[in-house]
Chains A and B, each alone.
Chain A
Amino acid sequence: AQTVTQSQPEMSVQEAETVTLSCTYDTSESDYYLFWYKQPPSRQMILVIRQEAYKQQNATENRFSVNFQKAAKSFSLKISDSQLGDAAMYFCAYRSAGSNYQLIWGAGTKLIIKP
């Protein structure tokens, strides 16, 4: 069975600085998707970024980028120029590319932005 591990329960960063959130996963599959979702205090679950395992290139969405290391089974999220609105719980999630489409979630990392 696949598992997702986020080893940082909480991280803090100064506004305008850069922060990296860690995520590792375990799977025997070669084809899958990885996601970062953001959950602010409103508890809405918002997609931040998505990576397809068969793509070598790291995904980027504006200030958000990932460092995908397939061999190491690592999928970290880098947030550049942190803003107060980035404060949220960040969840890393895995999804098989096969027949089972449910998301498998990490425990989450709480990101605090210091003004």
Chain B
Amino acid sequence: AAGVIQSPRHLIKEKRETATLKCYPIPRHDTVYWYQQGPGQDPQFLISFYEKMQSDKGSIPDRFSAQQFSDYHSELNMSSLELGDSALYFCASSARTSGRADDTQYFGPGTRLTVL
């Protein structure tokens, strides 16, 4: 079965640089979530999109922005990178249905960002 695809898998940047992370959801999934997981920590929710509109917003820094495109893929743009941004960034996708919104989130393999 098709899974969530994230690219790149690994990314090394210098402080103050910018980075773009991409996420391709499972086919027919209409919702994308972004999470940040620091070393030895649980994931922290950043932002989500449903049908190309921002749905929920978590602890996403103002330096970060994201969007979901017409083909449902999503990009997380990170500017003025700081050392503390080094983390594993997960994208998850789900298929929201009418009624109970019964959507389980399936995760991609993550993008490991290292800021030097």
Q: A44-B110, A46-B107 known; A106 and B42 CB under 8 Å?
A: yes
Instruction: Determine if B104 and A102 form an interchain contact, defined as CB atoms under 8 angstroms apart.
Output: no
Instruction: Determine if A50 and B110 form an interchain contact, defined as CB atoms under 8 angstroms apart.
Output: no
Instruction: Determine if B100 and A102 form an interchain contact, defined as CB atoms under 8 angstroms apart.
Output: no
> How distant is A89 from chain B, measured CB to nearest CB, in Å?
9
For the complex, is B56 an interface residue (Cβ under 8 Å from A)? yes
User: Quick one: which of A35, A91, A101 contacts B31, CB cutoff 8 A?
Assistant: A101
Task: List the A side residues contacting B106 at CB < 8 Å.
Answer: 47
For the complex, is B48 an interface residue (Cβ under 8 Å from A)? yes
Instruction: Determine if B101 and A45 form an interchain contact, defined as CB atoms under 8 angstroms apart.
Output: no
User: Quick one: which of A43, A47, A103 contacts B45, CB cutoff 8 A?
Assistant: A103
For the complex, is A107 an interface residue (Cβ under 8 Å from B)? yes
Task: List the A side residues contacting B56 at CB < 8 Å.
Answer: 100-102
Task: List the B side residues contacting A33 at CB < 8 Å.
Answer: 104
For the complex, is B54 an interface residue (Cβ under 8 Å from A)? no
For the complex, is A75 an interface residue (Cβ under 8 Å from B)? no
Interface residues on B, range: 20 to 34
> How distant is B74 from chain A, measured CB to nearest CB, in Å?
15
Instruction: Determine if A44 and B31 form an interchain contact, defined as CB atoms under 8 angstroms apart.
Output: no
> How distant is B52 from chain A, measured CB to nearest CB, in Å?
16
Q: How far is the CA of A45 from the CA of B92 in the complex (A)?
A: 9
Instruction: Determine if B101 and A35 form an interchain contact, defined as CB atoms under 8 angstroms apart.
Output: no
Q: How far is the CA of A37 from the CA of B33 in the complex (A)?
A: 16
Q: A43-B88, A45-B90, A100-B56 known; A105 and B43 CB under 8 Å?
A: yes
- B residues contacting A by CB (< 8 A) are 31, 33, 35, 37, 41-43, 45, 48, 55-56, 58, 88, 90, 92, 94, 96, 100-107, 109-110, 112
Can you name 18 extra interface pairs (CB under 8 A) apart from A43-B112, A102-B33? A33-B104, A43-B37, A44-B109, A45-B43, A45-B92, A45-B107, A47-B104, A97-B101, A100-B56, A101-B31, A101-B33, A101-B48, A101-B55, A101-B56, A101-B94, A103-B33, A103-B43, A106-B42
For the complex of A and B, list the 4 residue pairs with the smallest distance between their C-beta atoms, beginning with the closest.
A45-B107, A105-B42, A102-B45, A44-B109
